[in-house]
């Protein structure tokens, strides 16, 4: 949305000069809160495999993205590869172990508000006995 203001300066300090005309142009963008058009999906992954969580978020201005595992920030953790390109947000775990099991959340913030998407990751152990399978435990 564009606004144009036109004004007339009647206070000229030199009497022989006509009043000055000035033009002031301002831009005001609409603020749109973050919205996830694609949410994270729950994943069961075998131990030792790569896992990628992906979601898509829009908003004006572009939202700031933060990632969490079980409500703890993982943004600066070297164990994760985090990317954000044109609203597509990805969290990659190169090689999962049982410790990576948990609830992952992508949180988007901008001046219009906050939104989040979350999903559970369950790491399935390579070697486990029938009792552990029956209990559906993720510890090895």
Task: Name 111's Cβ contacts closer than 8 Å, sequence gap at least 6.
Answer: 31, 61
Q: How many domains does the chain have?
A: 1
Give a yes or no: residue 14 inside a domain. no
pTM of the model: 0.72
The per-residue pLDDT for range 68-127, each reduced to its tens digit, is: 999 999 999 999 999 999 999 999 999 999 999 999 999 999 999 999 999 999 999 986
Task: Name 65's Cβ contacts closer than 8 Å, sequence gap at least 6.
Answer: 57, 82, 84, 89, 106, 107, 108
Give a yes or no: residue 124 inside a domain. yes
Give a yes or no: residue 73 inside a domain. yes
The CATH number covering residue 107 comes to: 2.60.40.10
In the block, which residue shows the tokens 């989040």?
A: 116
The boundaries of the domain holding residue 94 are: 32-135
Give a yes or no: residue 103 inside a domain. yes
């Amino acid at each position: 949305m564009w606004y144009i203001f036109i004004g007339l300066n009647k206070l000229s300090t030199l009497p022989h000069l006509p009043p000055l005309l000035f033009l002031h142009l301002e831009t005001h963008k609409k603020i749109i809160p973050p919205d996830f058009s694609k949410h994270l999906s729950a994943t069961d992954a075998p131990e030792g495999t790569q896992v990628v969580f992906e979601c898509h978020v829009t908003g004006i201005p572009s939202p700031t993205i933060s990632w969490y595992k079980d409500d703890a920030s993982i943004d600066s953790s070297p164990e994760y590869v985090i990317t954000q390109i044109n609203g597509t947000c990805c969290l990659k775990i190169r090689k999962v172990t049982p410790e990576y099991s948990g609830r992952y959340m992508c949180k988007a913030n901008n001046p219009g508000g906050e939104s989040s998407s979350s999903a559970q990751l369950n790491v399935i152990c390579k070697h486990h006995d029938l009792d552990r399978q029956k209990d559906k435990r993720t510890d090895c």
